[in-house]
Amino acid sequence: MRYTLEIQKLLNQAEELAIHPKDKVKYYLKAIYLADENDDVEWAFDLRISLLDTEWGLADRQHFIPTFTWLLDAYDQNPDLFDAEELLWKYKWIIDEVYSNPDVSLEQTEDILADFKRRIEEHGYGLRAYYTKRLHEALDQKDIEKTQEYLALVNGIPRDNLSDCQACEMDTEVMTLLNGGNFHAGYEKAQPLLAKQYTCAHVPLVTHCNLTYHAIINKEEEIAAQQFKYAEEALAEREDESSLIRSIGQLIVYLFHANKALAWQYVERYLPWNLESDRNRSFFFAKYMVEGLRLENELERITLQLPSEHPLYNAGNSYLIGDLYKYYHSTAINLGEQFDVRNGNSNFINQIIA
Amino acid sequence: MDNAQQSYIFQVNLKGMISLLSEHLYSNPSTFVRELLQNGVDAITAIRSLDEGHQGNLQVYLNEETKETIFEDNGIGLTEEEIHKFIAVIGESSKREAFDTNDFIGKFGIGLLSCFVVSNEIVLETRSAMGGNALRWTGKSDGTYQIETVKNDRGIGTKVILQPKKEWVHLFSLSALEKNLRYYGDLLPISITLQTERERISINKDTGKWLSDDCSKEELLELGKNTFHTNFIDAFKIQSDSGKLTAIAYILPYKTQFSGKQAHKLYLKRMFLSEDDCKLLPRWAFFIRCIINTDGLSATASRESLMINDQLKASQKEIAQSIKDYLKTIGLVDPAIYHKLISTHYLHLKAIAAEDLDLLRVFINDLPFETNKGVRNFKNIKAYQHTVYYTPNIDDFKQLRRIAESQGLLVVNAAYTFEEDLLKKIQRIDPSLTIEEISPAHLLKSFQDLDASLESDYQHFIDHANKTLRELQCVCSVKHFQPADIPAIYIGSSMNHGSQNSSIKNSSNNPLTATLGAFSGQKKESKPQLCFNANNKLVQAAFTIKDEYVINSILHILYVQSLLLGKYPVSDIEMNLFNEALHNMLIMGIDNFINI
């Protein structure tokens, strides 16, 4: 059983407080390799769950789908060995990931949703979690009609252990109102979240970001400034969570309205996160960059340290704002088209404000 | 019926409330020492606003036999009205309104209640500087209290008399009391003495010099040694205007991990508050311990940590900047300390430098990296070869180490994510450098292919190897590479999800299986590869063997040997194959084996 000791050592390293989540991922992968090598399915299962937990905070979730595919197979082959609720919770994350990849066809997505639905029903849960997934996608597509439809379905079913936490559910309702153009109703709805009556890993941080963005485009400068301040404070606690890049895009739009110098600092600081994001996050980040950059003079040059992997990178660190705008505009169009082709509509492209 | 709505007032169970506040608010039963010291300091601060030259002092008397303990101050004292208002009304915010409340440490009107944790009764005798008789207030933990006039003519000030509960009597031994008084009060600017029938002990004589004076570095280090029992590498002072904060930062003399927190000494208005840094220090400062005093930040209700507010955040930034400023200049000020700092804390310094280009510029040349040629600083690495190669994970590094050596390449082990970030940032600072990631697969590609004329001779061997090792998911090839004494090199798969070697197999019923292709993207998973070395004598000899039984055994032995060389784990199945192969060799006769 020497390998279990080796796995434990790797876990100790992975659980060090201040190591970067990407380093944690490396340790988990190594431990998974050992567990698989020694045919220890229980260890392999638990370690893969930890791997998912760690990658959840990252924009780069390259192991998400292969890992969960294995988990689902392992569960089906040994249903008595593992906790179904844990697995179904992770399934919810996976559905987001599947929606975020336009190369996954609608048919494949529907198969996966049907599988999820079947499993939650078999285990005696209600369909609230299932409709919440559809609601989130409708929100991403800014499809007001479907959003209302799914919100009604979600609220028609009682909460259970697979439901999103109350903070997340309330944040979704706030999003629904903001997306529907009801800023003040959304702001009102968000009050319990802003007072931190309900919190979770990313709420109210993402709520602050949403409100900052919608406040500034609704010309509520004071609310935007206040929400930005809270968002920035909450962000300081989550310095390595690159999965937040989409929300940061919203803050960048605000900053191009309110504090251009800080906007460029944000762009410089957070662009590396975007480079490793999935296409959904990349679409929204590009869309927000377009909204921010269009407030700038496209003929001006800016000194900016882009990551060397960035397609526009040059060693001189000097960029024409117009070039940056064109790049993000074409990125948003390109990604939006990919999603729209998959979805058979124009909901993503319609969200780009040029 | 009268429609007028009647208002009612909530009723409070006083006994329950006292129990709640006294026993549950504070995490430590010794808190009463801090609270009583604090009340004394506040009373003296208050009288000083009337008489600037007042010499305040706090006396603690311990009757070693009965354990009765008296805390006495010569502060402003309390009038009867103040007793009713401040001592007996729970939650009465702030101390004496007539004075600037910012001068006081406490402000919640609940501190005295902490005494009920250790004593069923609190007796407070006081005479106010504002006039009136001396008074005795006796409070009980059931929520009742009495006030009486005291006839004997006592001086201005207050004393609190406690009779310890049996279960807490150990806190009232001379040594325990002295220890707690020092723990909380060692930095207080008002003289504290502990007195028994036998002796008189000064608690805080000549402390706090570092707060005002320009102490020498030796004095700071001496203070650090006495406080933390550690011989630190260096010490430097930090000032933060936002938190009206002064601190001494000490550099630890030993390596620290990225886990665990350092214990510090944090004082609020010179009263000890916490061993935690209460988020004042940046998260990367694992190699620093601090003594901190703040006059401007606020405590939480339990007075065991600081409130997180704008002032605290501004202080955080100032402290982080001060530490960075120190790090940027220490090399010029004292090169010996600079080098010791780097050799001890290079991991943390790398993590900071990866986030701060200015700091990176300062440290860049001296930061050490593990390479296949031992630990070298970056100056040395870039002098060695124009292209700096690195591996972003330890497994690749282990595998590459020896082969790279034989190719004359220097490869850096960038096992931590921040090391990779750091190398990318170095590239940015110095565009003349080329810094490239290298992987075993990359190196494999650089190996020399066999001549076409030779290839046909080895084809039988390769075909056989692929067939034999197919069950182990391994793809075989033959190339020329150095060093010649390595018969074969095993390159693991990219371990994207590490499931090739799992007994759990993909099910066609799993709807996610169909999507795997959509997620593989650029990072197509490669199968493990076994590359035989055509320069190796054993391999050259193996090419000539036609006997299937022998060749299978040799292939299994070479396969497991290459796993071991590459530090890959060897599974039970593989170990069995290895043992079986050796067994086969034994059966065939060791002489024949040697003759191969």
Span A197-240, pLDDT tens digits: 989 989 999 999 999 999 999 999 999 999 999 999 899 878 78
The C-alpha atoms of residue B200 and residue A34 are separated, in whole angstroms, by 65
Which residue from A32, A72, A305 is facing B512, i.e. has the nearest CB? A72
- pLDDT score, position B452: 74
How sure is the predictor about A17, in pLDDT bands with cuts at 50, 70 and 90?
low
- pLDDT score, position B163: 94
Q: Which residue of A lies nearest to B308 if distances are taken between CA atoms?
A: A233
Beta strand extents in chain A (DSSP E only): 301-303, 318-320
Give the mean model confidence (pLDDT) for residues A59-78.
93
Share of chain B above pLDDT 70, in %: 88
B504–A74 CB contact, under 8 Å? yes
Enumerate the H helices of B288-439 as residue ranges. 310-333, 335-353, 357-363, 378-384, 394-406, 417-429
- What are the angstrom distances between the C-alpha of B76 and each of A342, B188, B466? 79, 18, 93
pLDDT tens-digit series, residues B297-316: 998 877 788 988 889 989 99
Q: Which residue of A lies nearest to B492 if distances are taken between CA atoms?
A: A33
Beta bridge partners of A303: A318
Which residue from B258, B424, B428 is facing A16, i.e. has the nearest CB? B258
pLDDT tens-digit series, residues B145-190: 888 998 767 789 999 999 999 888 999 999 999 999 999 999 999 9
Residue type at position A151: L
The C-alpha atoms of residue B252 and residue B100 are separated, in whole angstroms, by 40
Q: For residue A119, how many other CB atoms are within 10 A of its CB?
A: 18
Per the CB < 8 A criterion, the answer to whether A135 and A147 are in contact is yes
Predicted confidence (pLDDT) at residue B319 exceeds the cutoff of 90 = yes
Give residues with Cβ within 8 angstroms of B146, minimum separation 6.
B137, B138
SS3 A156: coil
Beta bridge partners of B479: B533
The C-alpha atoms of residue B302 and residue B23 are separated, in whole angstroms, by 11
Predicted confidence (pLDDT) at residue B258 exceeds the cutoff of 80 = no
Scan for tokens 């008489």, then name that residue.
B51
- pLDDT score, position B593: 53
- Ordered DSSP codes for B440-484: HHHHHHHSBPPPHHHHHHHHHHHHHHHHHHGGGT-EEEEEB-S-T
Which residue from B257, B351, B517 is facing A16, i.e. has the nearest CB? B257
The pTM is what?
0.71
Per the CB < 8 A criterion, the answer to whether B57 and B193 are in contact is yes
Give the mean model confidence (pLDDT) for residues B46-73.
93
- pLDDT score, position B197: 93
The C-alpha atoms of residue B320 and residue A239 are separated, in whole angstroms, by 16
Mean pLDDT of chain B: 84
A17–B497 CB contact, under 8 Å? no
pLDDT tens-digit series, residues B540-573: 888 888 788 888 899 999 999 988 887 777 777 8
Predicted confidence (pLDDT) at residue A29 exceeds the cutoff of 60 = yes
Phi, psi of B211 (to 5 degrees): -70, -35
Edge-to-edge strands, sheet with B529-533: B475-479, B529-533, B488-491
Which residue from B284, B428, B502 is facing A70, i.e. has the nearest CB? B502
- pLDDT score, position B424: 86
- pLDDT score, position A344: 96
Per the CB < 8 A criterion, the answer to whether B253 and B231 are in contact is yes
- pLDDT score, position A152: 96
**A344 Cα to chain B: minimum distance (Å):** 18
The candidate with the shortest Cα–Cα distance to B518, out of A64, A348, A273, is: A64
B504–A307 CB contact, under 8 Å? no
A16–B259 CB contact, under 8 Å? yes
Give the mean model confidence (pLDDT) for residues B191-213.
90
The C-alpha atoms of residue A310 and residue A312 are separated, in whole angstroms, by 5
pLDDT tens-digit series, residues A308-319: 789 998 878 899
Q: How far apart, in Å, do the first and last CA atoms of chain B sit?
A: 116
B497–A44 CB contact, under 8 Å? no
Per the CB < 8 A criterion, the answer to whether B532 and B487 are in contact is yes
SS3 A276: coil
Predicted confidence (pLDDT) at residue B524 exceeds the cutoff of 50 = no
Strands B57-62 and B191-195: parallel
Tokens of A344: 């058979």
How sure is the predictor about B389, in pLDDT bands with cuts at 50, 70 and 90?
very high
Q: Which residue of A lies nearest to B423 if distances are taken between CA atoms?
A: A308
Is B418 at the interface with chain A, CB within 8 A?
yes
pLDDT tens-digit series, residues A178-194: 999 999 999 999 999 99
- Ordered DSSP codes for B297-331: S-B-TTSSSB--SHHHHHHHHHHHHHHHHHHHHHH
Tokens of B363: 């440290």
Predicted confidence (pLDDT) at residue A60 exceeds the cutoff of 90 = no
The lowest-confidence range among A29-33, A98-102, A332-336, B114-118 is B114-118
Give the mean model confidence (pLDDT) for residues B126-154.
85
The candidate with the shortest Cα–Cα distance to B260, out of B243, B276, B248, is: B276
Is B147 at the interface with chain A, CB within 8 A?
no
Is the Cα torsion angle A267, A273, A279, A281 positive or negative in sign? Answer: negative
How many CA within 13 A on the CB side of residue B175? Answer: 1
- pLDDT score, position B151: 79
- pLDDT score, position B173: 93
Q: Which of B21-25, B201-205, B245-249 has the highest mean pLDDT?
A: B245-249
- pLDDT score, position B592: 60
**A225 Cα to chain B: minimum distance (Å):** 15
pLDDT tens-digit series, residues B464-522: 888 888 878 788 889 988 888 889 988 876 554 456 678 887 787 899 988 888 887 64
- pLDDT score, position B522: 46
Range 347-406 of B in CB contact (< 8 A) with A = 351, 393-395
A98–B313 CB contact, under 8 Å? no
Helix-then-strand count for chain A, H and E:
17, 2
Chain B residues touching residue A308 (CB < 8 angstroms): 424, 427-428
Share of chain A above pLDDT 90, in %: 78
Is B170 at the interface with chain A, CB within 8 A?
no
- pLDDT score, position B418: 84
Which residue from B428, B515, B516 is facing A305, i.e. has the nearest CB? B428
Residue length, chain B? Answer: 596
Query: Exposure of B61 by Cβ count < 10 A (0-12 exposed, 13-18 middle, 19+ buried)?
Result: middle
The candidate with the shortest Cα–Cα distance to A296, out of A249, A255, A242, A236, is: A255
The candidate with the shortest Cα–Cα distance to A280, out of A78, A138, A131, A140, is: A140
Beta strand extents in A222-268 (DSSP E only): none
Predicted confidence (pLDDT) at residue B106 exceeds the cutoff of 50 = no
A65–B512 CB contact, under 8 Å? yes
> In the A/B pair of chains, how many CB contacts fall below 8 A?
131
Chain A residues touching residue B513 (CB < 8 angstroms): 69
A17–B424 CB contact, under 8 Å? no
Q: Which residue of B lies nearest to A38 if distances are taken between CA atoms?
A: B571
Give the mean model confidence (pLDDT) for residues B233-258.
91
The C-alpha atoms of residue B481 and residue B402 are separated, in whole angstroms, by 12
B507–A108 CB contact, under 8 Å? no
The candidate with the shortest Cα–Cα distance to A283, out of A342, A241, A233, A232, is: A342
Q: Which of A154-158, B413-417, B498-502, B535-539 has the highest mean pLDDT?
A: A154-158
pLDDT tens-digit series, residues B336-366: 999 999 999 988 898 888 888 888 998 999 9
A22–B417 CB contact, under 8 Å? yes
Is B514 at the interface with chain A, CB within 8 A?
yes
- pLDDT score, position A68: 96
Range 424-483 of B in CB contact (< 8 A) with A = 424, 427-428, 431
Give the mean model confidence (pLDDT) for residues B71-89.
83
- pLDDT score, position B107: 44
Chain B residues touching residue A24 (CB < 8 angstroms): none
Residue length, chain A? Answer: 354
pLDDT tens-digit series, residues B400-415: 887 787 778 899 998 8
Return the residue in A73, A99, A118 with the most chain B beta carbons within 10 A, the one to mutate for interface testing.
A73
- pLDDT score, position B90: 57
- pLDDT score, position A133: 97
Predicted confidence (pLDDT) at residue B93 exceeds the cutoff of 50 = no
Residue type at position B422: L
Mean pLDDT of chain A: 93
pLDDT tens-digit series, residues B423-466: 988 888 888 888 998 888 788 877 888 877 776 767 878 888 88
